[in-house]
Amino acid sequence: MSTAPLESAPGTPPLEWRDKKRHLWLLGLIPPTSVFLAMAFVAAFNAIGHGFDAVSPVWWWIGPMLVYVLLPILDVFFGPDGSNPPEELMEQLENDKHYRYCTFIYILFQGLIASLVMACYLWTADDLSWLGIDGGLGLASKIGLALSIGVMGGIGINTAHELGHKKDDLERWLSKITLAQTFYGHFYIEHNRGHHVRVATPEDPASSRFGETFWRFLPRSVWGSLKSSIELERKRLDRVGKPFWHPSNDVLNAWAMSIVLWGVLAAVFGWQVLPFLVIQAVYGFSLLETVNYLEHYGLMRQKTKTGRYERCTPEHSWNSDHICTNIFLYHLQRHSDHHANPTRRYQTLRSFDGAPNLPSGYASMITLAYFPPIWRAVMDKRVLDHYDGDIELVNVAPHRRERILAAHGVAGKDGDR
């Protein structure tokens, strides 16, 4: 659907709308093919010599370079997108299979074709002379490669997130397959049935709180999401009269896919791949959790007179419309529309003017999240501005609640939120 006419008033020529990002979505294939890009650069630098060979190992770190250097620069250079698809074309755009195939191809390159397999080979090979390397990779190069694979897995979790919200059985199974690399299959349950219900409330482990550092949020979200997924699936199985250890348990069968995948890789390439599989998995799901941290920081759904939380609105998610990171994350940064319409496909997600906006793309904000003083200097004032300075409307971290409320001239109460 590159061009489509819009209905216009009688007697006027039809308007046309062109999806300028239609082919740009294919740039999202860079992360799952980054191993092959790194190999090409390493081989080229080693072949050139004259000092280039000395720096060639840096290309094994291509994943972190993409996340922490290239994407933030591109976000600054190209800036926000600023365009939304017209309402009249939503259904046509939603049904255009080109966009669905973009996510399918990502999954193919991530694991079903070669990237993860190639990484295992590179971690264990003793002779890489065909890349201009004497012997095998050094430890620093192996770690860099593991982190690059972790970037692929972390962005892959986002791809799984896109597919896991859909009603099509094939897409849901592809979602689980994509999560197998990072051993984060329980995300499939917790995100859909947990996070989307409790988002922007103190009960949600994946919603970060005002004054909470990323390093405190990370274990809380990982452990809380794990426990929640198990409890949610246990309750579902109880309702249909099945035991927790039933094969239809979506948490267990997702983990089984990871065990099979890692087991086959270890059987083929040797146990030596296991430490690097652990590194890439931990780094991969930590990237997801960093994004979770910045998506709802400090935002709070208020309780109604009935004691229930108000409906989730665009005001309860931090957004960014920076086009480059949006291309790599399949519009994840248009997070408010996603929470309002979870089954809506990425190409139709809209940017809302009324939603709170981050100062830059997710890639830039991920780096800030690692440094709490800088993060709070940038974000705390934005949270307060969003609530017109009323700290009592903010989702404040319990361990800092009394101090933060006192700093704003509000007396805290035991048991508050």
**Averaged in consecutive runs of 10 residues, what is the pLDDT profile of the chain (417 residues)?**
43 64 90 93 94 94 96 93 86 90 85 80 96 96 97 89 84 88 92 94 96 97 96 96 94 94 96 97 96 96 93 92 92 89 89 87 95 97 95 94 87 50
pLDDT of residue 355: 85
Helix (H) or strand (E) run with residue 3 in it = strand 3-6
Residue 88 in tokens: 């009249």
The reported pTM is 0.91
pLDDT of residue 90: 86
Asked if 149 contacts 63 with a C-beta cutoff of 8 angstroms, the reply is yes
Q: How far apart are alpha carbons 123 and 110 in whole angstroms?
A: 17
pLDDT of residue 111: 58
pLDDT of residue 415: 44
Asked if 156 contacts 194 with a C-beta cutoff of 8 angstroms, the reply is no
CA of residue 44 relative to chain centroid, distance: 32
pLDDT of residue 156: 87
Neighbouring CB atoms inside 10 A of 389's CB total 11
Q: Is 247 exposed, middle or buried (0-12, 13-18, 19+ CB in 10 A)?
A: exposed
Q: How far apart are alpha carbons 184 and 3 in whole angstroms?
A: 39
End-to-end CA distance of the chain: give it in Å, rounded.
48
